[in-house]
């Protein structure tokens, strides 16, 4: 199952953020500003955020695996159409539709894991899945960036779509039949509706705090990666698009930290690990203020490791707190997570355009401080000995 979900992560996240590696090329080719070019990245997470609740209902009705297969196949077809976009408006529409299809993977994957993997190993399994999504995101950006510089952004995004199609095939072939999910037929007496499950999860303050973590931390993370390429391709660095795309290798630190976070939880509990990860994000972000390329790359490594560690903790915590509506709890987290990506991935660009990198760092730093304050205020009530909750 881990192999199958790894392939699903590659198929999903390679497509979701592949334009991030060619944003300067899109800006030049279509004659749009940096912030407008970033909308090609934001459109897909926005579509994903709009669809995750619907996908959770599909998963409850037809099964987790069946919903995921439908989603990944639809996303691959739409991804192959993106490079043929006739204009900026069509490109945004296709990216939004692609995101809606992709929503079926993150909306269901963690619920699928929690139902098929013993609770003792759920944190490590969630960390492994997050590590796979990090590698998928890295692969999409590294493929699109160099190819985009050589043959245009359309060729770069087409290559990523073909890679996603191969990964989707691996997922469909290798995913094991679910054993822990029992579908509830529509109209079953006493069975809560999707809306009732959503409301149950929205009434839990600790879940709301975790949703806020996804919204704020993901928003800041995407903003940094959206605009770093513009900074590096401009003076005083003036490096090529291919070289700029190599900064995405920092995602490898996220692959390590997400798995490591799952292991640390068993020793130090979830909240301390979450706060430590946010602190790493802040430290790495501050280092990127230096106008020295090695320092920027080092800061980016630390920032990325912190983000994926925090995401692994928060996302793995969600199904445990929302045990009576896992798919809906995960969907609400993903809605907040990708809404933050879409909103701040664009809005922070306004600060970048007006003030430069210093303005971006200030904005993202504020998001991190708010996330840490909410975590301390809303999540510290757990009893020290309760591993699944605290």
pLDDT mean over 287-299 = 94
pLDDT in tens, 69-113: 999 999 999 999 999 998 999 999 999 999 999 988 877 887 777
> Quick one: pLDDT at residue 388?
39
Q: SS3 sequence, the chain?
A: CHHHHHHHHHHHHHHHCHHHHHHHHHHHHHCCCHHHHHHHHHHHHHHHHHHHHHHHHHHHHHCHHHHHHHHHHHHHHHHHHHHHCCCHHHHHHHHHHHHHHHCCCHHHHHHHHHHHCCHHHHHHHHHHHHHHHHHHHHHHHHHHHHHHHHHCHHHHHHHHHHHHHHHHHHHHHHCCCCCCCCCCCCCCCCCCCHHHHHHHHHCCHHHHHHHHHHHHHHHHHHHHHHHHHHHHHCCCCCCCHHHHHHHHHHHHHHHHHHHHHHHHHHHHCHHHHHHHHHHHHHHHHHHCCCCCHHHHHHHHHHHHHHHHHHHHHHHHHHHHHCHHHHHHHHHHHHHHHHHHHHHHHHHHHHHHHHHCHHHHHHHHHHHHHHHHHHHHHHHCCCCCCCCCCC
The angle at the Cα of 310, spanning 305 to 314, to the nearest 5 degrees, equals 150
Q: In this predicted structure, what is the pLDDT of residue 204?
A: 82
Overall average pLDDT of the 187-210 stretch: 73
Q: Is the pLDDT of residue 190 over 60?
A: no
pLDDT, residue 387, reads 37
Helix axes 2-16, 153-174, angle to 10 degrees: 160
Kindly state the average pLDDT of the residues 322-350: 82
Single pTM value for the model: 0.78
- The answer to whether residues 199 and 133 touch, using CB atoms and an 8 Å cutoff, is no
Residue 60: pLDDT band (50, 70, 90) is: confident
The pLDDT, as a whole number, for residue 382 is 47
Would the pLDDT of 243 be above 60? yes
Q: What is the pLDDT of residue 364?
A: 97
| pLDDT value of position 86 | 86
With cut-offs at 50, 70 and 90, classify the pLDDT of residue 386.
Answer: very low
For residue range 212-232, what is the model confidence (pLDDT) as tens digits? Answer: 999 999 999 999 998 998 899
Domains, the chain, ordered by start: 2-175+193-379 (1.20.1250.20)
CB 132 within 8 A of CB 231: no
Q: Tell me what pLDDT residue 182 has.
A: 58
């Amino acid at each position: 199952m881990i192999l199958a979900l790894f392939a699903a992560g590659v198929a999903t996240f390679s497509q979701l953020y592949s334009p991030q590696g060619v944003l300067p090329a899109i800006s030049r080719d279509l004659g749009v500003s940096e912030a407008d070019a970033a909308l090609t990245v934001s459109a897909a997470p926005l579509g994903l955020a709009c669809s995750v609740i619907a996908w959770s209902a599909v998963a409850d009705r037809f099964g987790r695996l069946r919903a995921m297969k439908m989603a990944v196949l639809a996303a691959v077809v739409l991804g192959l159409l993106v490079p043929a976009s006739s204009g900026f408006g069509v490109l945004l529409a296709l990216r939004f539709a692609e995101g809606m299809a992709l929503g079926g993977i993150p909306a269901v994957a963690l619920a699928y894991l929690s139902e098929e993997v013993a609770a003792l190993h759920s944190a490590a399994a969630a960390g492994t899945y997050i590590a796979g999504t990090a590698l998928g995101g890295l692969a999409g950006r590294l493929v699109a960036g160099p190819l985009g510089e050589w043959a245009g952004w359309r060729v770069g995004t087409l290559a990523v779509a073909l890679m996603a199609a191969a990964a989707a095939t691996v997922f469909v072939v290798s995913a094991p039949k679910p054993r822990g999910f029992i579908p509830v037929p529509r109209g079953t007496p006493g069975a809560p509706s999707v809306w009732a499950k959503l409301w149950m999860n929205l009434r839990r303050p600790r879940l709301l705090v975790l949703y806020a973590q996804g919204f704020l931390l993901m928003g800041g993370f995407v903003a940094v990666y959206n605009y770093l390429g513009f900074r590096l391709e401009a003076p005083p660095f003036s490096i090529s698009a291919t070289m700029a795309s190599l900064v995405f290798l920092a995602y490898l630190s996220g692959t390590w930290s997400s798995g490591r976070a799952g292991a640390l939880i068993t020793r130090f509990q979830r909240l301390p690990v979450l706060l430590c990860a946010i602190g790493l994000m802040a430290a790495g972000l501050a280092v990127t203020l230096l106008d020295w390329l090695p320092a920027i790359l080092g800061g980016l490594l630390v920032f990325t490791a912190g983000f994926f560690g925090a995401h692994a903790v928060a996302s793995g915590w969600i199904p445990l707190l929302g045990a009576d509506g896992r798919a809906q709890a995960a969907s609400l987290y993903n809605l907040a997570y990708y809404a933050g990506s879409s909103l701040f991935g664009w809005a922070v660009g306004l600060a970048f355009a007006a003030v430069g990198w210093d303005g971006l760092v200030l904005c993202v730093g504020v998001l991190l401080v708010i996330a840490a304050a909410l975590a301390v205020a809303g999540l510290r009530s757990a009893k020290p000995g309760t591993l699944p909750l605290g």
